[in-house]
Amino acid sequence: MASHDVYIDLGANVGETISSFAEKNPDAIIYGFEPNPKLAQHLRTRFHGTRVMIFEKAAWILDGIRKFYLGHDLSSTLIYGKRSMPDYPEFEISYQNHILVETIDLSRWLLETFTDNARITMKIDVEGSEYKILQRMLDTDAINLVETIYCEFHHDRFPDISAETHERIKSQVSQRSHLKVWR
């Protein structure tokens, strides 16, 4: 069976990286995960009639329902306790302002959906959830399906994520996938 290009965008936001990847890889199969209902609707409208599939779900380590804390469209998160950013008040999270969103066990989905014939590129910008997602991918070997990962790490914004955890996960992911720190 021939290999095919796949792009998976976790935290798809308004779809800029999806659009860029699709332009450079017109035959790719593209999946976007975006739990913010307003952004997910924008993505469905933007990519209607294309090969881009949008999931209004948060990539996570379990299937279920979870609180999604709202802030600026670039800063909403599943993770409680994001540090205040006085220099960027527009990115503050309101922990009193949340919605319930559907979550998907990303590792399970990867293992059930893809084979080694897929050349998967993944972008991860999920405001602190990246550590749990990547650890689960390592634990389940789902990481072995992903050729390249572009990840924006947020260890400096969440007090429960230590520098040691950050470096350990980066190192382990780098040994099994081509990791590029994004932004």
Whether residue 61 is predicted with pLDDT greater than 60 in this model: the reply is yes
What are the tens digits of pLDDT across the range 5-55? 999 999 999 999 999 999 999 999 999 999 999 999 999 999 999 999 999
pLDDT at 89: 77
User: What's this model's pTM, rounded to 2 decimal places?
Assistant: 0.95
CATH of the domain at 108: 3.40.50
Cα-Cα-Cα-Cα torsion 74, 75, 79, 85, nearest 10 degrees, comes to 150
Q: Give yes or no for a contact between 28 and 5, defined as CB atoms under 8 angstroms apart.
A: yes
Is the Cα dihedral 120, 125, 126, 128 positive or negative?
A: positive
CA atoms of 122 and 120, how far apart (whole Å): 6
CA atoms of 13 and 16, how far apart (whole Å): 8
Number of domains in the chain: 1
End-to-end CA distance of the chain: 35
What are the tens digits of pLDDT across the range 64-106? 999 999 887 778 999 998 888 778 777 788 888 899 999 999 9
What are the start-end ranges of the H helices in the chain? 16-24, 37-46, 106-113, 130-140, 163-176
Burial of 45 (0-12, 13-18, 19+ CB in 10 A): exposed
The pairing of strands 93-105 and 52-55 is: unpaired
CB atoms within 10 A of CB 106: 29
Q: Domain residues for 36?
A: 4-181
